[in-house]
Amino acid sequence: MSVRSVDMQVILQKTAEVMKNQHLDSSKARMQQQQLAQQVQQKTELDGRQVNVLEKTNQPQIRDENKRREKEKKNGRKNDSRENRNGNGKGSNGENRIIDIKI
């Protein structure tokens, strides 16, 4: 089967168009892949910064809580008796000791 010269000219023109379309499609796919990778990287960096900021804000509170617990262990029941003397309004079992009387 031989190709006539007129048909060959049409085929060559179509080949150029097909190659151009394929190149555009492949470059679009490559560009979309790069954009997606960049978005994922930005999100990862943002998440990493947010977690680090959260850890920094909670750290001092944890240290203070640990220090308070250590002091309570050292002082034992001394803190309990001081709280009762200060009049915090609580009984030994946590009930309120203050009574309001209306006449």
* CA pair distance 62, 57, nearest whole angstrom: 10
pLDDT in tens, 31-63: 999 999 999 999 998 887 776 655 555 555 666
> Nearest CA to 77 among 59, 99, 92?
92
Mean pLDDT of 12-26: 92
| pLDDT confidence band for 21 (50 / 70 / 90) | very high
Segment 14-42 shows an average pLDDT of: 94
DSSP 66-94: HHHHHHHHHHTTHHHHHHHHHT-SB-TTS
- Residues 86 and 100: their CA atoms lie apart, in Å, by 19
Q: What is the mean pLDDT of residues 18-27?
A: 94
Quote the DSSP letter at residue 2. Answer: P
Q: Output the pTM of the full model.
A: 0.37
Question: Encoding tokens for residue 47?
Answer: 């998440």
Token output for 73: 């262990």
